Every structure is written in C-alpha cells, then in structure tokens.
Amino acid sequence: MNRFLPALVLGFAVAAPVQADLPVDRDEIFFDVYRGDSRFGEHRVRFDQQGEDLRVEVDINLRVNFGPINFFRYEHEAEELWRDGELVSLQTETLEAGDRVRISAERQGSDFRVLNSALDRAAALPASLPPSSHWQGYEVGEESIFNTVTGEAMPVTVTYLGRETIEADGRTIEADRYRMSGTLTVDLWYDADGVWAKCYFEIDGERISYVRRAA
C-alpha cells in the first residue's frame, strides 16, 4: 500500500501550460479518490489570489480501514506561493507510515534551497522545476519535476494522448489527456479551461482514480 505514495503527489499537441493563475471560476478543485470502486479519501486544492501573489493549498487525506483497524493512513499538506508566474516558496508536511516529513523550499536566484526535516543538510534544485502538485499542468517533453514529498528532483517523461470524454463535476466533459511516465505511470486530464479534471494510475494490481466534484 505504501507504494501509492509517490504517485499521489508526483503522481502536452496542446500543452497544459504552467498556469500560475486562478483557474477559471474556481477557488477550489476537489477530488474523491477511489481504490477500485471504493472511495478511500479526498484531495483538495485551494486557490487564493492576493494581488500579484497566488497562494495554493493542497490537502490529501486517505484511509483504508478493516473494521475498527486502520490499515493505511496517508496525509499530505502543502502550501505554494506563486508570484509573476513563478513558484517562490513551498512548504509541505507528509504523514507516511507514522512518520512526518517536512519540506521547505525557497527560491534563491535560479535555484530552490530545499530543507528536508529527515536530513541534516540543505539541497539545491533548479527553480525551473514544476512542483508535483498536478494542478498547474506540465509541458510536453518535461524531463524532471520537483517531488514535493521528498524534496528531490524526479525524472519523468510527459506525453500528450489526445482529447477524451470523461466524467467530472457530476457530468460528461471533454478533457485533454497527458501521461507522466517515471517510477510510476500517471495519467492526468485537464478540461477546456486548463483546470485539472481527473487522475488515474495502477500499482500492485490496484486501480487508483480521482473523480472531480462540481465546484
């Protein structure tokens, strides 16, 4: 079950651009997360535009229980601060297997200075790396992203798979599908406004899917 974790927060003909801007008509994206046909949690992304700054809050909460026994628990909280289309800071806290890990990243020139609470040293990453929060989309051909759980660069390949009809917001919509291949393969869909609409991946024989609720 713990192998779900990298995909959940990793985890274009028309690219889904990095769009550090408030999604059209939305101050929140809310997903019900399913394991097979069973709901086992939720994933929220909230947006707060404050002048030139865009503050993005991510909250993931997943549980698998067998009767009164909790078999699996995963929590991830993140706060991103964007300014003039650039990520300037990132704070995350992840609960995994009973341990909490905190990541802090601050832009310093062309790099991020990254601190991981599980390590005793700072690291530097290129500030051009998009964070693995999915809402802002990724460019086709992207080769690396900023893993917001580990604070490390993660090699990926992003490809565009075409436009499809999907279920989102309790209705049928058209969305562009992209595939991010790396340690895991994660499929992501973005609607006509460029807003994240769906997510799907498979691991250890399990099907994990995100279904977006109506705003």
* Residue range 125-181, pLDDT digits in tens: 999 999 999 999 999 999 999 999 999 999 999 999 999 999 999 999 999 999 999
Share the mean pLDDT of the chain: 86
| Residue 36, number of CB atoms within 10 A of its CB | 11
As given in the structure block, the two tokens for residue 69 are: 């026994």
Gyration radius of the chain's alpha carbons? 17
Rounded Cα distance, 212 and 6, in Å: 20
Q: What's the predicted TM-score (pTM) here? A: 0.86
pLDDT given for residue 174 in this prediction? 97
- Determine the Cα–Cα distance for residues 175 and 178; give it in Å rounded to an integer: 10
What b/e readout covers 16-33, taking b as 16+ CB neighbours within 10 angstroms? bebbbeebeeeeebbbeb
Q: 76, exposed or middle or buried, with CB in 10 Å at 0-12, 13-18, 19+?
A: buried
